[in-house]
Copies of this chain bind each other. A is one copy, B any other.
Amino acid sequence: AFADLDLRRTARRGYPEAVYCSGKTPAQVAAIAAAVGQRPDVITLFTRAGAEHADAVRAALPDAHHDPDAALLAWPPALPPPAGGTVLVVAAGTSDLPVAREALLTARYLGREADLIVDVGVAGLHRILGHLPALRAAQAIVVAAGMDGALPSVVAGLVTAPVIAVPTSVGYGAAFNGLAPLLAMLNACAPGVAVVNIDNGYGAGHLAAQITAPR
């Protein structure tokens, strides 16, 4: 009686519920995983899953897909066939990779074709400019960046598609655990930037999947 899985969510919203593991005990996650095992017709994601959470999921669902970098599990493990527009995920630096991968996998498990570009921060502008064709080919672009959070402004100024900006907690001092890039992204001088919570790769991937949904 500690959880009331929103199983009607797929019917109501078109996307399945995800289980946010980080505040739950492994025992609670295990019980939820067992319930999930009764519903192979919907794909369930387990997000922010530490090692113990992952063990609990795989005890109940041994064939679950597990991406430790993204702290994410998915069951059933097979990706759905991609439909709709394509999603491009961009990580400003190597340290933003875990968040970017969470977005990438979420978009793919929600049914989109999705690609990843890494380490193209604005300190070396030629790097992002070298990817202009890929940027302009995507129907939605997720940009994960910490520190100054400048990359989404630059990208949004170059493309037609919406940019989903994910501030990350990468950095130190006056980055204040992601506050600096969060504020920068909210104040992006180029319009067309949608902001989600700090480190929220899941939310970014979900939004990207909605924006690129087949019509």
Contact = CB atoms under 8 A, between A and B. Distances in A.
Interface in A34-52: 48
Contacts of A147: 187-189
Interface stretch (A5-13, A53-61, A75-83): A5-13
A162 to B, nearest CB: 5
A2 B199 CA distance: 18
A119 to B, nearest CB: 4
A148 B15 contact: no
Contacts of A133: none
B175 A6 contact: no
A189 to B, nearest CB: 5
B194 A24 contact: no
A127 B4 contact: yes
Nearest to A183: B180
